[in-house]
Amino acid sequence: MPLRWGKVWGIYALMTFREAILARIGAYLAATSMSERSFGLHVCGDHKLVSRLRSRSVTLDRIEKAEAFMRDNPDGIARPVPTVAVASEPARA
C-alpha cells in the first residue's frame, strides 16, 4: 500500500490512502458532531460506510461521494435537493 503525507491532529505523518481518508472523515465528523451512521446515509445511503472503509475496500466512487459531501456541506447540514415546482391550473371561477 503506498504511503502519503497527511496531516493528523496538526502533525504531518506518513499514512496510507485509507488512513488519510479515515482521518479526513474523522475530523469532519468531530467538527460537525455528525455520527458515522448519519454520514454514511447522507453520502450514499450506506449506514456502514465508515466501518466498511475501516475493514475493507470500498469503491472509489463512494470515496469521491464522501469527499464531495464534506466539501459541499462544511457545516455538516445536508442540504435538500431542490425540486422543481409544477404550476397547477388556476381555479375556475
Residues 59-81: b if buried by 16+ CB within 10 A, e if exposed = eeebbebbeebbeebeebeeeee
Domain boundaries, the chain: 17-72
Residues 6+ apart with CB under 8 A from 76: 28, 31, 32, 33, 34
Note if the pTM is more than 0.75: no
Total residue count of the chain as it appears in this document: 93
Cα–chain center distance at 84: 25
Per-residue pLDDT tens over the stretch 48-70: 999 998 887 788 889 899 999 99
Per-residue pLDDT tens over the stretch 66-83: 999 999 888 877 666 555
Q: How far apart are the first and last CA of the chain?
A: 72
